[in-house]
Structure 1
Amino acid sequence: MIRWIIIFLVIALIAAVFGFGGIAEGATDIAQIIFYIFIVLLVLSLLSRLFRK
Structure 2
Amino acid sequence: MRIIIDGTEVECDVEPIVENERVLVPLRAILEKLGDEVVWDETENTVTIDR
Q: TM-score, normalised by structure 2?
A: 0.25
User: Which structure exhibits the higher relative contact order, with contacts defined as CA atoms closer than 8 Å and separated by 6 or more residues?
Assistant: 1
In proportion to residue count, which structure has more strand? 2
In proportion to residue count, which structure has more helix? 1
Q: TM-score, normalised by structure 1?
A: 0.24
Q: Which structure has the larger Rg over C-alpha atoms?
A: 1
